């Protein structure tokens, strides 16, 4: 569930649609937060244009998740 503890950051994580087999194509987004201050812990694919993003809590104050820092690659035009 969404209350699960997220221990680390995603690292060049390619999000593929459920049931998709094969090489990633343009539009299969690649999320990365494996750098200082990155805090994206999990990504779930919902639709081609919708993703659920789970932000890790702040290291010094685990009650707050008020900021986010990650990159997204491999987008296609109009996505």
The predicted-structure confidence for 6-63, as pLDDT tens digits, reads as follows: 668 889 999 999 899 999 999 999 999 988 778 899 999 999 889 999 988 877 777 7
Q: In sequence order, what are the residues at sequence separation of 6 or more whose Cβ sits closer than 8 angstroms to the Cβ of residue 53?
A: 31, 40, 42, 43, 68, 70
**Residue 5 reports pLDDT greater than 70:** no
Question: If you search the block for the tokens 């750098």, which residue do you land on?
Answer: 35
Residue 3: its pLDDT value, please?
53
Residue 72: its pLDDT value, please?
95
- Show me where the domains of the chain are located: 7-19+26-78
**SS3 assignment, position 47:** strand
Angle at alpha carbon of residue 25, lines to 44 and 74, rounded to 5°: 70
């Amino acid at each position: 569930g969404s209350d699960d503890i997220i221990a680390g950051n995603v690292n060049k994580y390619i999000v593929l649609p459920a049931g998709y087999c094969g090489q990633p194509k343009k539009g299969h987004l690649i999320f990365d937060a494996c750098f200082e201050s990155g805090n994206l812990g999990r990504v779930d694919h919902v639709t081609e244009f919708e993703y659920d993003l789970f932000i890790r809590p702040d290291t010094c104050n685990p009650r707050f998740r008020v900021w986010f820092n990650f990159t997204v690659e491999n987008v296609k035009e109009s996505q």
